[in-house]
Structure 1
């Protein structure tokens, strides 16, 4: 099998810092925008979930004392995946009111539910 030859980046594209407003920056931005537009909805959702996963990891590693409820992350996952909160509660075996309290920070999350959520959202 023949190896592909890749063109070496020039004009600072991906090799050096690019200043906003330069021709190279605008070209690179256009490439990224076209790639983004070409993505399927499923690809976009996967990327959003991955970004949320990174936010969770950053939060856990952070020494910032700004506490967040687990429910904030659950709510974000449901929004990204466009899943109805009541249907999701029933799916994981919770009453909708209990899930609502977890999301609102009024009730702690159990270990069992945490494991279920981890498997469902791959986090």
Structure 2
């Protein structure tokens, strides 16, 4: 029987999944954190860490909120720097992005829906037509 209340520790529970602790990838499927409509990540990134290749979510909308640190996100048309606690950026499906932590940073990311294989590598902007 599925519990009505679940508690835990996001960094510990997401440690084996790159910080993701809620979403379609949680097993067993009767766990309340196993969701197809939402996934949540507690991202802890050291200064200088980043993803240097463009990635795009095919169907998911993404919201990233700065908990602490300084975090830079690059989009095709603009660069966003999250520098104050609570700064956030939301982007729609189909928007390429990459990121870097300028300081040790903690980011809470919510993405919906939660679908396997939705995040795909994309060519660099110079290669796109």
In the superposition, the TM-score normalised over structure 1's length comes to 0.24
Structure label with greater radius of gyration: 1
Of structures 1 and 2, the one with the larger relative CO (CA 8 A, separation 6+) is 2
Specify which structure has the higher proportion of strand: 2
In the superposition, the TM-score normalised over structure 2's length comes to 0.23
Specify which structure has the higher proportion of helix: 1
